C-alpha cells in the first residue's frame, strides 16, 4: 500500500475523532448531558489509534526515512513535529483527567485545546511533511516505508485497529448525527 495514502487515511479517522470530540464538547458547553464514558472512549481512541498506532509509524518509520534521504532539507523539522506529538499526548491525558473532575469549564477548555492542536498538527503534516516526502523519497524507499507500515500495523494488531475504528464509528453515529 502507498504509505502517503495509508497515512492520509489514518488522518481522516483522526479528523473524524476530532469532529466527534468537537460535537461532544459543544454539547458540554451547552450543558447538554454527554456520557463521560463515551468521551473517555474517544480519548482512548485518540491515544491508541492516533498515538500508539499512527504517530508511532511517523516517528519510527517516516521521519527517520526523510532525515536520511538525499533530498533532505532543513525545512523539515522532525523535532517540532515530535514536540507536537508530545503535546497531543499530554493534552489527551489532561483532557481525560479533567473529564473525571467536577470542573466542567476545565474539561471544556482542555478539550478545545486538544481539538485545536490536533487539527493544526494534521494540517501541517498534510501540507508540509507528506508533500516533502513525495518529493524527496525514491520509489524504492517509499515502497520500503509502505511495507514497514504494514508490518507495524500487523504488530499493533489488525483486530485491535478494526475495533478502534468500529468504536469511532459508533461514537460518530451517536454524536455527529445527533448534532447535525
Whole-number pLDDT of residue 69: 81
Quote the pLDDT of residue 103.
86
pLDDT value at residue 74:
57
Domain that holds residue 135: 3-179
Span 28-65, pLDDT tens digits: 999 998 999 999 999 999 999 999 999 999 999 999 99
Q: Is the dihedral of CA 166, 167, 168, 169 positive or negative?
A: positive
- For position 161, what pLDDT does the model report? 96
* Measured distance CA(72)–CA(53) in Å, rounded: 25
Mean pLDDT for the stretch of residues 124-144? 90
CATH number reported for the structural domain that contains residue 150 in this entry = 1.20.120.520
Task: pLDDT band for 79, please (50, 70, 90 cuts).
Answer: confident
Residue 179 to residue 83: CA distance in whole angstroms: 33
Number of domains comprising the chain: 1
Amino acid at each position: 500500500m502507498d504509505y502517503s495514502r495509508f497515512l492520509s487515511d489514518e488522518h481522516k479517522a483522526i479528523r473524524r475523532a476530532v469532529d466527534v470530540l468537537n460535537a461532544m464538547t459543544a454539547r458540554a458547553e451547552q450543558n447538554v448531558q454527554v456520557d463521560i464514558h463515551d468521551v473517555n472512549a474517544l480519548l482512548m481512541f485518540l491515544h491508541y489509534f492516533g498515538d500508539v498506532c499512527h504517530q508511532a509509524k511517523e516517528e519510527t518509520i517516516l521521519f527517520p526515512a526523510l532525515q536520511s534521504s538525499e533530498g533532505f532539507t532543513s525545512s523539515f523539522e522532525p523535532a517540532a513535529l515530535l514536540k507536537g506529538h508530545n503535546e497531543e499526548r499530554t493534552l489527551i491525558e489532561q483532557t481525560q483527567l479533567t473529564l473525571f473532575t467536577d470542573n466542567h469549564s476545565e474539561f471544556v477548555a482542555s478539550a478545545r485545546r486538544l481539538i485545536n492542536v490536533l487539527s493544526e498538527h494534521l494540517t501541517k503534516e498534510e501540507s508540509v511533511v507528506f508533500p516533502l516526502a513525495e518529493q524527496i523519497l525514491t520509489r524504492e524507499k517509499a515502497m520500503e516505508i509502505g511495507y514497514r507500515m504494514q508490518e507495524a500495523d500487523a504488530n499493533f494488531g489488525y483486530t485491535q485497529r478494526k475495533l478502534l475504528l468500529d468504536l469511532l464509528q459508533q461514537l460518530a453515529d451517536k454524536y455527529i448525527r445527533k448534532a447535525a
